[in-house]
Amino acid sequence: MNSQSQTAGALLRQWRQRRRLSQLDLACEAEISTRHLSFVETGRAQPSRDMLLHLAEQLDMPLRERNRLLAAAGFAPLYSQHDLADPALAPARQAIEQLLKAHEPYPALAIDRQWNLLAANAAATAFLAGMPGFLLGPPLNVMRLSLHPEGLAPRIANLALWRAHLLMRLQRDAEISGDETLFDLLDELRGYPAPAEVPAPPSDAVLVPLQLHSEHGVLSLISTITVFGTPNDVTLAELALETFFPADAFTAEYLRNLMKSP
C-alpha cells in the first residue's frame, strides 16, 4: 500500500518496525501504555496531534514523514517545505553560499536527501571536467557520478574501499529515511562494475580517504558532513554540506594551484 493512503496508525507501525522496536520498546520510550500504542496502531484509538508528534520524535522520523503522519490523521502539516530558491530560505541560502565559497581552494558541495547536487564551489566543479553530459543532469546525482564506470570511478585510486564506504552510507540513509528512491539508487549502484574484492583499511587508519588520480600524482581527501542544527523546514532538514580537506601536503598544494589556474 502506498504510504500516502495509509492510516496514521499503519504509518506509526511501519516506522516502529523500521526502527526495529517492539510495541513495548516504543511505549516505554514514549511513556505511554503498550495497550494505548496498540490501539493507536490498529486505529481503535484516535491520537491527538501532540501524541503523534511525540511518537514521531521517539521514532526519529524525518520532518517530511512527520508531515505525512499528521496528514494521515487529518491534521495540517507542521513543517514548511520551500524550494531552496524561495525567498523564505534566503538566509539559509546565503549561509550555504558563504560556506561553499569560504572553503575554497578545497572542494565543497550541497546535496539534497537523494544525493542530488544543489550547489558546489569552484574547487568541486573543477573535478567535473570531462564528465559525460548524461551524468551531469539535471539533476546531477553525486552517488551516481562517483561510482558510474563513465564517471569518476576510473579516477578513484582506492575505488573498492571508497565504493564500499559510499554504499554503506547510502544504505544507512535509505534505512533511516525510508525513501524508496534511495533504495532504487542503491540497487543501481550495486549493479555497476566493481573491483573483485574490498581491501580492509590499514590497521592505523581512522578515516577512509577519497584518493583520486591526477596528472601529477594521487590526491588524498577526507570529508566532513554539515547539516542545519534546528531546521523547521523540510528542505533544510534534508540538506547537507559535504566539505573535503586535503589529507596530505601534496594534495593541499595541488588544490591551491588548481584554483590559481585561469
Angle between the N-to-C axes of helices 49-58 and 8-18, in degrees from 0 to 180, rounded to the nearest 10: 10
**What pLDDT does residue 109 have?**
97
pLDDT (tens place) for every residue of the chain, 262 residues total: 444 568 999 999 999 999 999 999 999 999 999 999 999 999 999 999 999 999 999 999 999 999 999 999 999 999 999 999 999 999 999 999 999 999 999 999 999 999 999 999 999 999 999 999 999 989 999 999 999 999 999 999 999 999 999 999 999 999 999 899 999 999 999 999 988 877 776 666 678 899 999 999 999 999 999 999 889 999 999 999 999 999 999 999 999 999 887 6
Residue keyed to cell 565559497: 101
**What pLDDT does residue 230 have?**
87
**What pLDDT does residue 3 have?**
45
Task: Pick left, alpha or beta for residue 43 (phi over 0 → left; psi -120 to 50 → alpha; otherwise beta).
Answer: left
Strands, E assignment, 33-133: 108-111, 117-120
Cβ-based neighbour number of residue 64 at 10 Å: 19
Q: 256 CB contacts (<8 Å, ≥6 apart)?
A: 105
Cβ-based neighbour number of residue 165 at 10 Å: 18
Q: Indicate the burial class of 234 (C-beta count within 10 angstroms; 0-12, 13-18, 19 or more).
A: buried
**What pLDDT does residue 182 have?**
97
Domains of the chain, CATH where assigned: 8-73 (1.10.260.40), 87-260 (3.30.450.180)
User: Residue 208: what are its φ and ψ, rounded to 5°?
Assistant: -95, 110
Distance in angstroms (rounded) separating the CA atoms of residues 148 and 96: 28
8 A C-beta contact, residue 211 and residue 218? yes
